[in-house]
């Protein structure tokens, strides 16, 4: 007989369903906290992309994005329009959810990953412009960076 309370059995079952469905399974309370300029529309579209991929996203409006990026350790050359934090990492710009999921699964010794600029066709930047090829790069606390993924 299973002696675990029904609620814990349900939570365990839902975790297995999410794992088999390819969705992320995160520790309780872990969420994406995204800082964005209140006037930016593409940042909200990236948050929608992340939510559609199974992430919980808290949007924080800030008129001091340069200070947010500086505090987060985002190298100036890798900056984009919004800065997010999850699982002890920084995610800068329009990084695909699959890359964030990979970052969290592999846990590399980096400060974060970034999609520099605002690449056309990246999550949140689809639409009016033809898609372009772009790289997501990882960066460390010293600002050294290398390619993490290519799209």
Domain ranges of the chain: 30-150
Does the model's pTM come out above 0.95?
Answer: no
| Residue recorded with tokens 């947010």 | 68
Dump pLDDT digits (tens) for 44-97. 999 999 999 999 999 999 999 999 999 999 999 999 999 999 999 999 999 999
* DSSP code at position 87: T
**Under 8 Å between Cβ of 122 and 113:** no
By CB neighbour count within 10 A (0-12 exposed, 13-18 middle, 19+ buried), where does 14 fall? exposed
Q: Which CATH architecture has domain 30-150?
A: 3-Layer(aba) Sandwich (3.40)
Q: What is the rounded CA–CA span in Å between residue 84 and residue 94?
A: 10
pLDDT averaged over the chain? Answer: 85
């Amino acid at each position: 007989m299973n002696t675990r309370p029904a609620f814990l059995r349900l939570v365990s079952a839902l975790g297995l369903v999410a794992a088999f469905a390819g969705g992320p399974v995160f520790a309780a309370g872990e969420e994406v906290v995204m800082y964005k300029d209140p006037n930016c529309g593409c940042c909200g579209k990236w948050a929608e992309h992340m939510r559609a991929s199974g992430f919980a996203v808290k949007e924080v409006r800030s008129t001091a994005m340069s200070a947010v990026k500086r505090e987060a350790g985002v190298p100036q050359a890798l900056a984009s329009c919004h800065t997010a934090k999850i699982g002890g990492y920084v995610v800068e710009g329009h990084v695909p959810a699959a890359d964030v999921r990979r970052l969290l699964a592999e846990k590399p010794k980096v400060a974060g990953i970034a999609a520099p600029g605002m690449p056309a066709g990246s999550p949140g930047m689809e639409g009016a412009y033809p898609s372009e090829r772009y790289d997501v790069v990882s960066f460390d606390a010293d600002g050294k960076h290398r390619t993490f993924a290519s799209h």
